[in-house]
């Protein structure tokens, strides 16, 4: 008993007990009702969730972008995330997928789903591949080594960028896996020849020639940030990074002083003459160029606008997949790059005729946020979503996915005629 209560007279002590009993009994019932009410439950849930929103695990690929933005210096995040000029194509690459709807089939036994496929004869666990993207070490110290290991663990193909932080030999030694090598052609053709020979010797299975970059697109975020080109290990001893950026992007000045603007269709024959590896052309957006790619002997084409980093107001890649597919007539595989953020996007691309998709920025965001594990998570999330989409659309294997499974803007327009 408290000292204050002991000092009270017996009469006042009795009334004090009565008062406390009355207050307790009067508050107990409404308080107990409130604690058991949905209102209290919602309040507790909201309080907890509001405190832990950013600490929770990402539940989709797009959520890795915010984590990467938080983890990276502004210059590096802008380098990865930015597009050309007004960034119209950058936005449309994703939004164009959202304009395509899926037409599901029902009452199909989908107890077993097979997402596997093959590209150029190499089996992969799903039609989701890792796009070439530059300078992974800006996102994580392990750079392309981590990306390569994650790709191998995911049983998919990684295309190593010409502008990688680790060279072709270092990435090849990081793990045993099928990899392709992406090539730019510099003014000194001996540099390309050297890299192709090294890639072939290191076990790369194909050369991906980028054909949409005679000059670098105007990437205004890089200009504002005065983006600096780190050392490119693949061209060490061949090219100096020491260029005059004139107060703008060092990257732009470097690229425009090294890229060969004379590159043309006849140079595909030259490239084929120096390697036995199959050559895919990356940067095809039209029927005409797809026909030409078949004519010059390309082993495949990649429908790409360079992640919307080159020519702004070029078409969103998914909108021209059918045009390219019709042109090649099944003679060579068609892969599409740009804007893939959901498993439903993968499904839509395949329904329009692509054999696989390439994923670029989400891989970088996963690497920046959580290293090798983050890359694995991004690939697995997309694969899981794709498998679920197949099941809900009534498809048990990739051969079941047909043009009739999707409806595009063009379909809607034609239905009104």
* Residue 337 assigned ligand-binding role: yes
* Residue 341 assigned ligand-binding role: yes
* Residue 326 assigned ligand-binding role: no
CB 340 within 8 A of CB 131: no
* Residue 132 assigned ligand-binding role: yes
Q: Residue written as tokens 């539940």?
A: 59
Q: Burial, 162: exposed, middle or buried (Cβ in 10 Å; 0-12, 13-18, 19+)?
A: buried
CB 393 within 8 A of CB 111: no
* Residue 255 assigned ligand-binding role: no
* Residue 20 assigned ligand-binding role: no
Distance, C-alpha 150 to centroid of its chain: 14
* Residue 286 assigned ligand-binding role: no
* Residue 309 assigned ligand-binding role: yes
* Residue 2 assigned ligand-binding role: no
Q: Among this protein's residues, is 405 annotated catalytic? A: no
* Residue 282 assigned ligand-binding role: yes
Q: Write down the catalytic residue from 17, 136, 306, 405.
A: 306
Token pair in block for residue 381: 């999330």
Question: 380: which residues sit within 8 A by CB, 6+ positions away?
Answer: 154
* Residue 230 assigned ligand-binding role: no
Q: Residue written as tokens 């003459």?
A: 273
Closest CA relative to residue 183, chosen from 274, 75, 106, 120:
274
CB 365 within 8 A of CB 126: no
Question: 154: which residues sit within 8 A by CB, 6+ positions away?
Answer: 125, 376, 379, 380, 383
* Residue 360 assigned ligand-binding role: yes
Q: Which residues fall in the annotated binding site for glyoxylate?
A: 184, 219, 306, 309
Residues placed in the known binding site: 132-134, 161, 182, 184, 210, 219, 282, 304, 306, 309, 337-341, 360-361
Which residues are designated catalytic? Answer: 306
From the annotation, which residues make up the binding site for FMN? 132-134, 161, 182, 210, 282, 304, 337-341, 360-361
């Amino acid at each position: 008993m408290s000292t204050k209560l002991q000092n009270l007279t017996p009469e006042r002590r009795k009334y004090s007990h009565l008062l406390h009993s009355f207050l307790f009994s009067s508050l107990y019932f409404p308080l107990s009702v409130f604690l058991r009410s949905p209102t209290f439950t919602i309040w507790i849930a909201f309080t907890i969730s509001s405190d832990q929103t950013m600490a929770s695990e990402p539940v989709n690929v797009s959520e890795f972008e915010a984590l990467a933005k938080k983890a990276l210096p502004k210059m590096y995040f802008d380098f990865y995330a930015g597009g050309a000029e007004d960034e119209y194509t950058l936005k449309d690459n994703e939004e164009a997928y959202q304009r395509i709807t899926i037409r599901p089939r029902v009452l199909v036994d989908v107890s077993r789903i097979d997402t596997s496929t093959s590209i150029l004869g190499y089996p992969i666990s799903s039609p989701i591949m890792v796009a070439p993207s530059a300078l992974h070490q800006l996102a994580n110290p392990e750079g392309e080594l981590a990306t390569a290991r994650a790709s191998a663990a995911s049983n998919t193909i990684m295309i190593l960028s010409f502008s990688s932080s680790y060279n072709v030999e270092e990435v090849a030694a990081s793990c045993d896996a099928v990899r392709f090598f992406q090539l730019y052609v510099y003014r000194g053709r001996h540099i390309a020849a050297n890299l192709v020979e090294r890639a072939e010797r290191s076990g790369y299975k194909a050369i991906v020639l980028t054909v949409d970059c005679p000059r670098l697109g105007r990437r205004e975020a890089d200009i504002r940030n005065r983006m600096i080109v780190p050392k490119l290990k693949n061209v060490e001893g061949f090219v100096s990074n020491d260029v005059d950026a004139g107060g703008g992007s060092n990257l732009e000045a470097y690229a425009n002083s090294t890229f060969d603007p004379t590159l043309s269709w006849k140079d595909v024959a030259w490239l084929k003459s120096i390697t036995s590896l199959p050559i895919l052309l990356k940067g095809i957006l039209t029927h005409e160029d797809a026909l030409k790619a078949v004519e010059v002997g390309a082993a495949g084409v990649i429908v790409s606008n360079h992640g919307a980093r080159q020519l702004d107001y070029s078409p969103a890649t998914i909108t021209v997949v059918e045009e390219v597919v019709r042109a090649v007539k099944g003679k060579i595989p068609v892969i599409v790059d740009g804007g893939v953020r959901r498993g439903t996007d993968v499904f839509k691309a395949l329904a329009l005729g692509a054999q696989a998709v390439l994923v670029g920025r989400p891989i970088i965001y996963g690497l920046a946020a959580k290293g090798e594990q983050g890359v694995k998570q991004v690939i697995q999330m997309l694969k899981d979503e794709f498998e679920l989409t197949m099941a809900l659309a009534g498809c048990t294997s990739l051969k079941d996915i047909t043009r009739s499974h999707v409806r595009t803007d063009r379909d809607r327009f034609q239905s009104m005629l």
